[in-house]
Copies of this chain bind each other. A is one copy, B any other.
Amino acid sequence: MVNETQHTCSASSSSKSDGGSSSGSESSKDSSRCSTPVLDAERHERLREKMRRRQDSGDKWFSLEFFPPRTASGAVNLTSRFDRMGAGGPLFIDVTWHPAGDPGSDKETSSMIIASTAVNYCGLETILHMTCCNQTKDEITGHLQKAKRLGLKNIMALRGDPVGEEWEEEVEGFNYAVDLVKHIRNEFDDYFDICVAGYPKGHPEAESYEADLRHLKEKVFAGADFIITQLFFRSETFLKFMKDCQAIGITCPIVPGIFPIQGYHSLRQLVRLSKLEVPQEIKDVIEPIKDNDAAIRNYGVELAVSMCRELLDSGMVHGLHFYTLNREVATTEVLKHLGMWKEDPRRPLPWAVSAHPKRRVEDVRPIFWASRPKSYIYRTQEWDDFPNGRWGNSSSPAFGELKDYYLFYLKSKSPREELLKMWGEELTSEESVFEVFTCYITGEPNKNGHRVTCMPWNDDPLATETNLLKEQLEKVNRRGILTINSQPNINGKPSTDPIVGWGPSGGYVFQKAYLEFFTSSEIVTALLKVLKKYESRVNYHIVNVKGQNITNAPDLQPNAVTWGIFPGREIIQPTVVDPVSFLFWKDEAFALWIEQWAKLYEEESPSRMIIQYIHDNYYLVNLVDNDFPLENCLWQVVDDTFELLNSPTQQ
């Protein structure tokens, strides 16, 4: 039995078909264009392969360095920054190792946890820095094992700064970064991609520039995959360094570290730490404007852009590494000037994919967590397998509970005072709650003049897609149908559609209309009567906080509500309405009323009691209109419900 699967071997049965086979070969290469990198190749590639592929294709890339924040709220902010800067398309980010900050711990602010957040929750390819001096082998191995367990796949191996003034070699310990590289390769084989630091001017403590180059070569030959350099101020510095590296046989990628000057003080501090000297021509510009932050930043951006252009134009540089100092503006501006900031509206899936290697096959999720993807990832982090292609009913293992650490992600980004302004200093009735929901939908200021830009269930303003439903949503929220999630029906839009598209180009995406809301038991009673008329067209799940559950879902099967058809592929159905996980979502959705909203007010206060009443008595409802090619009937369902409620016989 022939079981060859040669992709494009030459057809040899006749001379004419040789032409055929060669065209087959070309077109096979072309066809790889029809797949989304992230869905296919990149999703399964390791960092060094991605780097190599970008280099081969001539597609320039950038990366971003961050340091761990000091406070828990700083961690929340940094996570948002990861999301925003991740949107520009970095090849990876890296997180520095703070020996003084308990970097390998489970603290929200540790290097380990911040890097894990970037990988797992923000879906970013991430390098975790790690230093080795003053640490035992076992400590280091422990850190590496933990990093592996958390889904980290890349380590930047550094010596780190010795504690105290004088530094002495330890005979048994790790004295140089090369020792750490060897240790990683010994203990973890080829699991991690390893990055090491290069010093374009030589390490300040090295005997000489040449000796430092030899040390670098040792690190590479010990198993490092690529090099990121210390910052420098002139492109010649880097280009000379690169040639010198190549001359002694270093062939791996060398990535220049770019430091856009962002302010006088940060520059001085960095120079002190790196022991670099700022060129006179730069000093000459900066000193006169040292108190004008904006002017310095503008100069810094300009300087970085022109240096980056020189580097890229040299033909020797394929990627740029940015020392962001955890700030967004300067780096983003440099990248935009260079045309390298690419907010690709094309998403591989309708939700952000986690970068944890365990989750790489994941391509279907319940719709309920659409606005809370991090919470979903957290609650499913213990799963061994992730659904691939089909959700399957009741096959899903248990969801993680709502615990303390989770509240870190459950927390609103906004401070209490701001939330009170948005959601009401004082609530007088259920209707004042309706008003908050309505203002969130319309974007209009509330009666105190504040715009409602987030809700407990949506940390961000309304999605573009939801905007398509704005008018109807406004109408129903005013009447006490408190919507927290919705999508319009879509009957085969191109996968490249800027609003609803996702996945490889050349495909078609589809959706069933979905509406999820809290509402009173009176409305639920009428709704259920109305839904009888829509049987089999509309599937519903209706549940209260106690778990009392009314549904017409056949056999607890999941209902696919978003799917895509692509060239040369199986169907992808990335979101489902799953009856089983809805009951886990329900706990979270009800808890948010209390945790985020009720607790803004004093115990026993009327405002708090109103939210508590809603929490205790309202139902969480989801509706799916299965007839996606027809006009969405869910608005009619709601209209019919109010008509029934207002009819005299009902009273």
B-binding residues in A (CB < 8 A):
1-14, 16-17, 19-21, 23-28, 30-35, 40, 388-392, 394, 398-399, 401, 491-492, 506-508, 510, 521-522, 524-529, 531-532, 535-537, 539, 542, 544, 546-560, 563, 565-571, 573, 576, 579-580, 583-584, 586-587, 616-617, 619, 624, 626-629
Contacts and interface: CB of A to CB of B under 8 A. Distances in A.
A270 B35 CA distance: 67
A4 B569 contact: no
A48 to B, nearest CB: 20
A532 B6 contact: no
A550 B9 contact: yes
A400 to B, nearest CB: 10
B565 A570 contact: no
B555 A560 contact: no
B33 A536 contact: yes
Contacts of A30: 532, 535-536, 552
Contact of A550 (B11, B551, B583): B11
Given A390-B389, A570-B560, A570-B576, A11 B491 contact: no
A61 B576 CA distance: 37
A548 B510 contact: no
A8 B552 CA distance: 8
A27 B538 CA distance: 11
A399 B2 CA distance: 11
Contact of A390 (B5, B388, B567, B628): B388
A contact patch SS = mixed
Nearest to A539: B568
B569 A557 contact: yes
Contacts of A570: 390-392, 557-560, 573, 576
Contact of A20 (B31, B401, B524, B552): B524
Contacts of A8: 549-551
A469 B536 CA distance: 34
B565 A492 contact: no
A127 to B, nearest CB: 27
Contacts of A568: 539, 552-554, 557, 559, 624, 626
A522 B16 contact: yes
B529 A554 contact: no
B629 A492 contact: yes
Contacts of A508: 628-629
Contacts of A9: 548-550
A562 to B, nearest CB: 10
B565 A539 contact: no
A525 B34 contact: no
Nearest to A510: B565
Nearest to A30: B535
A4 B547 CA distance: 7
Contact of A554 (B5, B40, B560): B40
A540 to B, nearest CB: 8
**Which of A35, A563, A566, A570 has the largest number of chain B CB atoms within 10 A?**
A570
A389 B506 CA distance: 23
A407 to B, nearest CB: 16
A128 B537 CA distance: 42
Q: Which 4 A-B pairs give the minimum distances between C-beta atoms?
A: A24-B550, A2-B547, A567-B626, A389-B390
A306 B26 CA distance: 72
A522 B14 contact: yes
A549 B506 contact: no
A629 B508 CA distance: 9
Contact of A537 (B554, B567, B617): B567
A67 to B, nearest CB: 37
5 contacts: A13-B521, A20-B526, A30-B532, A30-B536, A560-B569
A1 to B, nearest CB: 6
